[in-house]
Amino acid sequence: GENVEQHPSTLSVQEGDSAVIKCSYSDSASNYFPWYKQELGKGPQLIIDIRSNVGEKKDQRIAVTLNKTAKHFSLHITETQPEDSAVYFCAARGEGANSKLTFGKGITLSVRP
C-alpha cells in the first residue's frame, strides 16, 4: 500500500519568511496530492491540491510542487503570517473511484511574530 512520509515534524519560521514542507510517497500509481491545514480544535481544511499531470500549482501565498520521478511533493508558503501557524498534513491517493487518501504524520508550523 501507499506510504506517505512528511518531514520535518516541526518547523518554526519568522513572520514574513517562507516555509517549505516536504512529503514523499511510495506508490508510483498515486496521482492526486492534497494538502490540509488543521488549526487547534478544528477539522482539516483543504488548502491546495495537485494532480500528477501538473508540476506546480499556485494560489496566492501558497504553492505546491510535484516531482513524480523522485516521488516528492512540497508545500510552499510565502510571506508567512502568525495565522499560518497550524498542523499541515500532506496526502496521496491513487486512481479509481474507491481509492483512499493516505496521510502523512503532519507537521506543526509555528510562525514567530
Partner 1 sequence: SAVISQKPSRDICQRGTSLTIQCQVDSQVTMMFWYRQQPGQSLTLIATANQGSEATYESGFVIDKFPISRPNLTFSTLTVSNMSPEDSSIYLCSSRGPSGSETQYFGPGTRLLVL
Distances (CA, A) of 112 to 47, 83, 93: 21, 10, 33
Q: How far apart are CA 66 and CA 54, in angstroms?
A: 7
Q: How far apart are CA 47 and CA 41, in angstroms?
A: 17
Residue numbers 15-44 binding partner 1 by CB under 8 A: 32, 34, 36, 41-44
DSSP state of 8: -
CB of 101 to partner 1, least distance (A): 6
Contact 103, 44 (CB under 8 A): no
Size of the site for partner 1 (CB under 8 A): 21
Q: Which is nearer to partner 1, 32 or 78 (CB)?
A: 32
CB of 2 to partner 1, least distance (A): 12
CB of 71 to partner 1, least distance (A): 19
Interacting residues toward partner 1 by CB under 8 A: 32, 34, 36, 41-46, 49, 51, 89, 93, 97-98, 100-101, 103-106
